[in-house]
Amino acid sequence: MATTPGQIDIWRQSRSEYQRLEFKEAKSQFDNRKLYAYCVAIANEGGGHLLLGVADKAPRPVVGTAAFSDPVGMAEKLFQAVGFRVDIEAVAHPDGRVLVFSIPSRPRGTAYHLDGAYLMRSGEALVPMSEDQLRRIFAEGGPDWLVEHAKLGLDAQQVVEILDVQTFFELVRLPYPTDRAGVVERLLHDRLVDKLDGGYAVRRLGALLLARRLEDFGSLSRKAPRVVAYAGTSKIETRFDHTWANGYAVGFQTLLQFVMAQLPQNQIIAGALRKEMKLVPEIAIREILANALIHQDFTVGGASVMIEVYSNRVEVSNPGEPVVPVERFIDGYQSRNEHLADLMRRMGICEEKSSGIDKVVDAAEVYQLPAPDFRAGHRRTCVTIYGPREFRDMDRDDRVRACYQHCALRWVMSERMTNQSLRKRFHLPESKSASVSQVIGAAIEAGLIKLDEKVGGSRKYARYLPFWA
C-alpha cells in the first residue's frame, strides 16, 4: 500500500522517535553508507521506516529532501549492499518531497551486518550490538534453555522427592491432590515435568522454581542465588557468604527474609518520632530480587544472581545485559524468560505488569533514600539501593538521577513533575526552591528531562517530562 501524506503526518505526531521510526532532514543529500547502516540497524530492531525530508526534533516539520533522485536505482544499490530488499517511496507531501524507506525485520535467529558490523541504534548514534543481544538473536532458532531437561529417568516418587510440590500447590493456591498421580499430572500440565521413555524428566524451569536442593540437579547449582554481607562499605572484610539451596519460587520468601536479616538497622524520623528500620525497605529488596531472578540470562555460564549487603547500600546483580535500556526501566517492560515470569506471577512473586521498578523508585522517595542506581555492565545488570542520605549529602549524580526517576515516575502515574513535587521528593522546604531548580536545570542539560511545552514559558508553573515522553 502506497504511503500517503496523511500517514506521514501521523508518524510525525508520534510521541518520540521510537523503535520503528527514524526521521532525518537530509534536505539536499544523505550519505549512502549511512543509509545502509540505518537500514541494517532498523532491521535488527524489528523493522520499520526511515523518513528523509522530515526534521527529527519536535514538532518534526516536513522540510523536503532532494536526496536520491532515482529511488529505483537506490533500492538496487541498497540490496547489493545489505542483502535484503528495502522499498523506497517518494511521497509528494504539501510541504515538500519525503522519501520513505520501508525496512523489513530480520529473520528469526538471524542478525544483519554491514561489513561484519552488527548494528543497532542508541539514541542518535549507531553502535555495534552487544554480545548478549547477538547471543539472544542467534539462540532464537534453537530450543529454549529453560525447557531442556535437568534430570531424566525418574519415577513419580522421585519427582515428588526432589521437588517441593507441597509449597508449589500452596503458591498457586490449588488444593493438594489426593494421590501422587494428581501431583505429577499438575506438573505435566504446567510444563515443569515431561513424560519421557516410560518415566519422567524434570525441565530446568521446574528444577529452578521448585527444587528442594538445586545441587541435586548438577550444573543448575551454579544458578543458585548467592548472598554476601560485608562489614563496611567495601569488599575488604566479608562477614557472611552463603549460596541459597532452594528453588527460586519455593525458597523466595525465605531468601527475602534472610537478606533482610543481614541489613543493618537505620534510624529515621517519622513525624516527630524517631523509629528503627532496616537500611532499605523490604518492598525494594523484594522487587529487585524478583526482577534479578526472572530477567537473568541463563545462557551466561558460571554466573548467578548476587545479593551483596554493605553497611550503606545493597547491590543486586544478575547475569546478562538488560533487554530494556536502564533509563527505561520505569516505563518499559519486556521479559527475557516469559514462561518463568508467568509462573512467578501466578505464584505471587511478581506482577508481570512493569510495576516492580516503579515500586522501588516510589519506596526510595517515601523512605528518603537516594535514587536507585541501575547499571548495565559487561554481561551483567546491577541495581544499587542506597541507605538514607540527606539532600545536602547527595552529589550531583545522585540528585540528577533522583530528578529523572521522579519525573519518569510521575509520567507513568499520569502526572507531571514540578519544582514543588521534586522538593517534596527531596523533603525540602519551599525556601529551597532555587536549589531544586538547579537540579532540574542539570537534568535538562544532561538530556534526561525536558520542559512540557504545553504549559508555556512560566518558570513558576513549569512542568517537566522525561526525555522520551
What is the CATH code for 224-386?
3.30.565.60
- The whole-angstrom separation of Cα 126 and Cα 40 is 10
How far does the chain reach from its first CA to its final CA, in angstroms? 30
Q: Provide the mean pLDDT of the chain.
A: 90
**209: nearest Cα among 257, 172, 258:** 172
* Residue 392 pLDDT greater than 60, yes or no: yes
- The whole-angstrom separation of Cα 293 and Cα 319 is 9
pLDDT digits (tens, 9 = 90+) for 195-238: 998 899 999 999 999 999 999 998 899 999 999 999 999 999 99
Region 432-443: mean pLDDT is 94
- The whole-angstrom separation of Cα 360 and Cα 208 is 25
- The whole-angstrom separation of Cα 350 and Cα 347 is 8
Rg (CA), the chain: 26
Q: 368 — alpha (psi -120 to 50), left (phi > 0) or beta?
A: left
pLDDT at 278: 86
Which fold would CATH assign to domain 391-466?
Arc Repressor Mutant, subunit A (1.10.10)
- The whole-angstrom separation of Cα 77 and Cα 29 is 16
Q: Model-level pTM? A: 0.74
Instruction: State the span(s) of the chain assigned CATH 1.10.10.
Output: 391-466
pLDDT digits (tens, 9 = 90+) for 111-147: 999 988 999 988 778 999 888 788 878 877 677 889 9
What is the full DSSP assignment across 321-388?
A: --SS-GGGTTT----SSHHHHHHHHHTTS--SSS-HHHHHHHHHHHTTPPPPEEEEETTEEEEEEEPP
Instruction: State the span(s) of the chain assigned CATH 3.30.565.60.
Output: 224-386
pLDDT digits (tens, 9 = 90+) for 302-335: 889 999 999 999 999 999 988 788 888 888 777 7
> Would strands 119-122 and 96-103 be described as parallel, antiparallel, or unpaired?
unpaired
Instruction: State the span(s) of the chain assigned CATH 3.30.950.30.
Output: 5-140
pLDDT at 67: 96
What is the CATH code for 5-140?
3.30.950.30
